[in-house]
Chain A
Amino acid sequence: MDKEYILKKWLAGELTDEELATFKKSEDFELNAKIIEGAKKFKASQFSTVRSYDEFKNGLKNKKSPLIRLNSYKTALRIAALFVISLGIYFAFLASNVTTVQTVASQKTTFELPDASSVVLNANSTAKYNKKKWADKREISLDGEAFFKVAKGATFDVITTNGTISVLGTQFNVKNRADYFQVTCFEGIVSVKSHREYFQLTQGKTIRIIDGTVVTDTIGYKKPRWIDNKSSFKSVPLYEVLNEFERQYNVTITTQNIDTKRLFTGGFVHDNIDQALTTITVPFDLTFKKENLTNITLYSSE
């Protein structure tokens, strides 16, 4: 069996007793074990312990917080742009006056904002905005993926955990998933502020940040493929392709012996699972097995 596969299973604590006995006899087992054991020397609580609840309570009474209190929304707005992102997140958590639109796996939805801008939300996504404040400030938080058609007007901000996207009337797509952040401009100009850098996208340009790496590219189509129920990828890690597959079909995919960091170029349809499975497995010479209605396993052919 593949050495890397066994290593992965050992790290996950999933080896059988027999496999473990064999693994312990391997040449570099001593080093492997030393690395795991050695990690404990870095344990946080040896150097810094969190305050007890009582200490916290005392701190609450005494603290003259230098931080801006967000009780006043207006005060926060005067602060530099850095805080816009944090503000958006807090704002997203405030239950009052916030309209939430949410989709689950294999669901898409379209909704309109108070100024007639429209948003198409992809599967497993959440958008939140304040209806009452919309006339003063167009600000919407997004977790997941959405395509925006923005009516001309004052700035329009989309706030995600990976960055803030600002536009004036235009059409653009934002994809914000764990480890994967991509903004595509279909019309107009979009500015993207991701906590490290600042980018501007014109029509047809896309920017992608995966695990810290920034890739810019040009796209030929006029709107996102997923709106037409197809997913399309260009040099995207396979694990993200599988994540999107799970979102669209509401299934769970397990892989065996596959390097899911490999870059995938291709796509799949959203309405025919067998065809979709074929198009994602063939390029890397993989095979699939449907365990039941909701679980699929992918295997390497080697």
Chain B
Amino acid sequence: MPKKIKHTVCDEKVFSSIYKQYAKDLHDYLYYKFGSQMDINDKVQDAFMKLWDNCKDIVPEKARAFLFTVGKNMMLNRFKHQKVILKFQEIRPKDYTNETPEFLLEEEQFYQKYQKALNSLNEEQRVAFLLNKVEGKRHKEIAEILNITSRVVEYRIYSAFKIIKEQVKGFK
């Protein structure tokens, strides 16, 4: 009779696969939630370190939930008063075929308004919207990450979109 091997998170193979599976998602989630001013990498590191410290008590299936809860809570109290800023990629002339200075200036202004709009969203709207539209995550996956229903995810994306549109309109 073959011996049944129980894989726990303390097993390096398991732990490294969990890291490779969720580190980027956790990083992106925290980044979109708290902005580009925070040192997200440190927080991701700490979350995985806590997972490692508690590895014998957490089953692999619960690892994702643990990581996201820990990551979120680490930042909640210390940084709640800080403004959320999300950087946008530089407007470079060689990205556009129409290079008039006025056009480039308009583009810059459009993205500044967009940036302001994103910062004005509540973090739940912002996270759902960006995970879906930038990272291409399905509603169901976002729902699992945020521990809410798909319907709520859909609603948040819609709300976010409306708010952004309201603030950027006036630009073609």
Measured CA separation A83–B127 after assembly (Å) = 25
Q: Contacts A12-B139, A35-B165 known; A43 to B147 CB distance under 8 Å?
A: no
Measured CA separation A127–B16 after assembly (Å) = 31
0/1 per residue, A196-238, Cβ < 8 Å to B?
A: 1000000000000001100000000000000000000000000
A93 pairs with B45, CB closer than 8 A:
no
Q: Contacts A53-B16, A261-B155 known; A95 to B59 CB distance under 8 Å?
A: yes
- CB closest residue in chain B, given A254: B151
A84-92, A150-158, A262-270, A280-288: which one contacts chain B? Answer: A84-92
Q: Contacts A38-B111, A70-B53 known; A47 to B87 CB distance under 8 Å?
A: yes
Measured CA separation A82–B58 after assembly (Å) = 24
Measured CA separation A38–B113 after assembly (Å) = 11
A40 pairs with B134, CB closer than 8 A:
yes
Chain A residue contacts of B41, Cβ below 8 A: 48, 50-51
A69 to chain B, nearest CB (A): 7
Candidates B23, B58, B129, B139; contact of A56 at CB < 8 Å: B23
0/1 per residue, B42-68, Cβ < 8 Å to A?
A: 001110111011100111001000100
A42 pairs with B118, CB closer than 8 A:
yes
A interface residue numbers (CB < 8 A to B) = 7-8, 11-12, 28, 30-32, 34-36, 38-51, 53, 56, 59-60, 63, 65, 67, 69-71, 82, 85-86, 89-90, 93-96, 161, 178-179, 195-196, 211-212, 239, 243, 254-255, 260-261
28 A–B contacts, CB within 8 A, in A order: A8-B154, A8-B158, A28-B169, A35-B165, A36-B133, A38-B110, A42-B130, A44-B27, A44-B32, A45-B24, A47-B36, A48-B36, A50-B26, A50-B27, A50-B44, A51-B44, A53-B20, A56-B19, A56-B48, A59-B45, A60-B49, A63-B45, A71-B53, A93-B54, A93-B58, A95-B59, A195-B80, A254-B151
B interface residue numbers (CB < 8 A to A) = 16, 19-20, 23-24, 26-28, 31-32, 36, 40-41, 44-46, 48-50, 52-54, 57-59, 62, 66, 69-70, 73-74, 76-77, 80, 86-89, 110-111, 114-115, 118, 122, 124, 129-130, 133-135, 139, 146-149, 151-152, 154-155, 157-158, 161, 164-165, 168-169, 171-172
